[in-house]
Amino acid sequence: MWETSARLLKLLSLLQARRDWSGADLADRLAVSERTVRRDVERLRDLGYPVHASRGTDGGYRLGAGAAMPPLLLDDDEAVAVVVGLRTAARGPVAGIEEASVRALAKLEQVLPARLRRRVSAVADYTVPIPPDTPAPAIDPATLTTLAAACRDHERLRFDYRSHDGTATIRTVEPHRLVTWGRRWYLVAWDVERDDWRTFRVDRVEPRIPTGPRFTPRELPGDGDLAGYVARGVSGAGFRFRARVTVHAPADVIAARVNPAVGVVEAVDERTCVLSCGADSVDTLAVYLGLLDADFDVTGPPELVARLDLLATRYHRAHTGFRFAISRGRDRVGR
């Protein structure tokens, strides 16, 4: 009986690890006959697991979705990864998912063996999260799952969209991928009415249900590098304030100092590059430029130029005051 139970658990783990299995492959993994595999599959069905079987040369077994979620079998590394992921999600920008993450985390930690609980606790006890400099926009988890399902099923989607300046439009798209960039989520989709690729911030999307007819997936933009495609597009159009700054330093040096979530660096020559960046405030843009540790030229936007003028005056005053204080101190020592 114990041998059969252990084999059933291993069979369930295999079915969860891969979508399709042939009877021969399962028999080989379990070191039993295909007849025994068929009997074990029937036992799993009796326990409520929806194991589907297909006949023929391409036939095999697949674990389907049931009315209730069955237990998941995780190995040590998978269990640790899930716990760390849940703790990260509990602090993430997806609104409403924090409580669900904490509940799932409590259930999982309750059944973790002692050896794994120590590993997970070490990660938690010796990790200090740095608070973000700006709050992340809240994202409705229902919206996120709707977009992901439309991408997976290749179904057209209509939604209300609010641009960064508050303009509201209705868009019809063929959704392809979701991309996380910085602390934001973006949808990369083919805009049907504009006959071109577009990038949409998920926190500004309100899907209209149901989704539309199926479409044939297109070749992805940016030669398949969607992270770079979104970075280039968002750095120029995703924020309230945008700037193209000429930096007097090699492109590779500046690129090493610029987070991809901040901007994109393009080489001009061996000693000069252009930084395209954006932010929701000119103060944030000024901080980005100050961290470059290189000379730069800014021609716009006017709000950024005015802010840099103010900061230059303030820093010069602070520097002058410091030198004056040092000079007076020396005079007193001389006396």
Segment among 76-90, 96-110, 265-279, 293-307 with least mean pLDDT = 96-110
Residues in contact with 28: Cβ distance below 8 Å, sequence separation at least 6, in sequence order: none
Q: What is the pLDDT of residues 8-35, one digit of tens each?
A: 888 888 888 777 899 899 999 999 999 9
Tell me which of 18 and 310 has the higher pLDDT: 310
In 3-state terms, the chain is what percent helix, strand and coil (to 5)?
A: 45, 20, 30
- List, as one string, the DSSP characters of 280-322: SSHHHHHHHHHTT-S-EE----HHHHHHHHHHHHHHHHHHHHH
Alpha helices for 31-113 (secondary structure H): 34-46, 76-90, 97-111
pTM above 0.95, yes or no: no
Cβ neighbour number for residue 80 with a 10 Å cutoff? 17
Q: How far apart are CA 34 and CA 13, in angstroms?
A: 17
Q: What is the pLDDT of residues 264-296, one digit of tens each?
A: 888 999 999 999 888 878 898 898 898 899 999
Q: How large is the average pLDDT for residues 35-47?
A: 90
Q: Give the pLDDT of residue 79.
A: 81
Q: How large is the average pLDDT for residues 188-207?
A: 92
Q: How large is the average pLDDT for residues 84-97?
A: 71
Please report the beta strands in 65-213, taking only residues with DSSP state E, as ranges in sequence order.
157-162, 168-181, 184-191, 196-201, 205-208
Q: How far apart are CA 284 and CA 241, in angstroms?
A: 10
Q: Give the pLDDT of residue 68.
A: 58
Helix or strand holding residue 145 (H, E): helix 141-153
Q: How far apart are CA 161 and CA 208, in angstroms?
A: 11
Q: Give the pLDDT of residue 130.
A: 59
Rg (CA), the chain: 28
Band (257; pLDDT cuts 50, 70, 90): confident
Please, is 55 exposed, middle or buried when counting C-beta atoms within 10 Å of its C-beta (0-12, 13-18, 19+)?
A: exposed
- Dihedral (CA of 151, 154, 159, 163) sign: positive
Q: How far apart are CA 115 and CA 25, in angstroms?
A: 32
Q: Is the pLDDT of residue 78 over 70?
A: yes
Q: Is the pLDDT of residue 140 over 60?
A: yes
